[in-house]
Each structure stands twice: as C-alpha cells, then as structure tokens.
Amino acid sequence: MKFSKPYYIYCIPCLAMFAILFSACKKDGNPNNLPDADPGKYAGTIDGYKTSDEVAPDNLVAYWDFDGTKNEKISGTAPSTTAGDSFVDAGVRGKALNLTAGYLYYPVQLPKLKTDVFQNFTISTWVQILNNGSKKTMIFQLARPGIFNGSLNFILNTQSFPATNTDELKINPTFTAISGGMQDNVNTLRDAPGVPTYFPYLTPKIGADKWTHLLLTYESTTGMFNIWANGIKVGAFPSRGVGTNLFKSYEPSEIIIGGNYNVIPGKSVNTDVSFAPMTGRIDELKIWNISLTDAHIKAIYNLGLAKK
C-alpha cells in the first residue's frame, strides 16, 4: 500500500507526537522508572519495622524487658539488691516492672558502658508515673560508686507538682562531663516568642495507668543532649557544648533503676534526701551506644503504642 505525500507530511509527525505523549504519561506516576515495591515486605509493619527489636539492634548495649525477669538481657546481669518490686501484666510488651517505693541495684560494671566505647547514647523507656509534690524520681542512674551524681541520671522532677496534676511532668536529666561538672536539660519555657532561642513549654500527660514514652539522646560530635516525650522533642536546652563539657562514662560504674545510692540502705553517700525510691512502673528500658535518628525515635514510640 502506498501513501500519498500529504499523509507523510501531516500524519507521520502526528504519530510521533502521540508516541512521545504516551511515553510521558507512563512515567508520570513513576518518573524514575523505579521497580514496583513488594507489599509483602511491609505488611504488618509500623514505620518500616515489625517490632522495636529491629531498631538499631547492632548498637543496643543494654536491655531490660521486665517480662518476668529483672536481669539485663544482653549480659544476663541480675540485680544484687531489690526493694518494693514486682511484675504486673499489661506492660507495653508483656509484663512490666512495678515499683512501690522500690529500686533495683546492679553493682556490676557492664563492659559495653565503659568509657572508651560508650560516648554517644540513646536511653529509652516507658513509664507510668505520678507527681508527688515532695521528692524527685530517678528512673535510671549510671552510678559512680561513692558519688552522689552518676555519669548519667535520668531524673523526673516529680516534686514540682502534686499528684493530682497529671497534665505536666518535668523531665530533668543530667550527665557528668569530662571536666567533672554537671550538664543538664529540662522541658520548660525558654525565652519569649520571637527571640531566636525561644522554645515552648512542652510536656506529656501522665497517669498511674497511662504509659508515657521518655527518651534521651546524646551526640558527642555536637554536644547535643535531647529529651523526647511521646515522640516529640521537648528539651529546651539541648546544646551542652563540646571539649571538657562532653559526656564521660566514668569507671567503675554501677546501675540503679528507680533510685540512687541515698535510697539504698547502707549505701548513702551524703545527706541529700531530695530523691525517694520510685513508685510507678517501668517497661522496655533500652540503651544504645548511638544517638538514634528522629525517624528511629518516632518509630519506637509508634511501635510501643501498638505493643510491638
């Protein structure tokens, strides 16, 4: 079959244009021609994870799941002394640790928390806690034998409000620096709106039967010490400086959950009575040797809500 000259002039360019448009339409929803994703890989996941155990597992250095055991899971270390402790059902995952004016004391140096290998950190836990109007609460302390302040002190200022106030919780963690001095952060109002350093007062709601996720991160290259509550960054003073202001995990160290030396009979190091043994519940206490990313932290929170 032969085509007339006008056909070549007018129709062939039209066919070429149609082919170009058709090709462009095919790429419109996938401009980089990426392969199709396999939905099976993401079925049942939250933020890409099936459970919180999948979040940075190679950097996890200590873990208490409190699912019927008080032992630290990675090392198998058991507490030497406990008080006011029991297990309860309906934890974030399985059982949880219940403390009634109680604590757990581990007088052992964990190798993965030594000075040379523990320079950055994330510490994550879920708590059920109330304010008490009189005493501070120490969730976790990386303690220094014979010294009041530990290398790392996860402090809640539960003395700041009465027990009836479940709308506010002051979170005031501290760490000991290379210089020997203390550095801290706290969730509070910083400066006025419009000032470059302004930071609003952000606080989680709490309750005796309400799980609240609390998390700290520290990055040694920047000196940034952040507080997170329920997946939101709440600390007003994260920049703690570098040089001699950097965090140091002093040796030897011990671990106290729910208190400090002064709440353990026979272990007091001074006359300070600002802390009381913890009354509340703790679950899924984890420590990593890196500062987790924002995405990791939000995933841990969302996974916890789903009891994963």
pLDDT at 10: 44
Burial group, residue 56, by CB count within 10 angstroms (0-12, 13-18, 19+): middle
Contact status, residue 234 vs residue 117, Cβ threshold 8 Å: no
Q: Which of the pair, 21 or 307, is modelled with greater confidence?
A: 307
Give Cβ neighbours of residue 113 (< 8 Å, ≥ 6 apart).
Answer: 61, 62, 142, 249, 253, 287
Q: Which of the pair, 7 or 215, is modelled with greater confidence?
A: 215
Q: How far apart are CA 87 and CA 85, in angstroms?
A: 7
The answer on pLDDT for 11 being more than 80 is no
Overall average pLDDT of the 73-77 stretch: 97
- Which SS3 state, helix, strand or coil, does residue 77 take? coil
The answer on pLDDT for 255 being more than 70 is yes
Give the mean pLDDT of the chain.
90
Burial group, residue 283, by CB count within 10 angstroms (0-12, 13-18, 19+): buried
Q: How far apart are CA 190 and CA 61, in angstroms?
A: 34
The answer on pLDDT for 4 being more than 50 is no
pTM: 0.86
Domains defined for the chain, CATH in brackets: 53-305 (2.60.120.200)
Q: Are strands 232-233 and 137-143 parallel, antiparallel or unpaired?
A: unpaired
- Report pLDDT digits (tens) over 138-168: 999 999 999 999 999 999 999 999 999 999 9
Phi, psi of 57 (to 5 degrees): -65, -30
The answer on pLDDT for 17 being more than 60 is no
Q: Which amino acid is at 227?
A: I
Per cent of the chain over pLDDT 70 is 86
- Report pLDDT digits (tens) over 213-228: 999 999 999 999 999 9
Nearest to 263 by CA among 114, 85, 128: 85
Band of the pLDDT at 92, cuts 50, 70, 90?
Answer: very high
Give Cβ neighbours of residue 247 (< 8 Å, ≥ 6 apart).
Answer: 119, 121, 151, 152, 175, 176, 177, 178, 183, 218, 220, 225
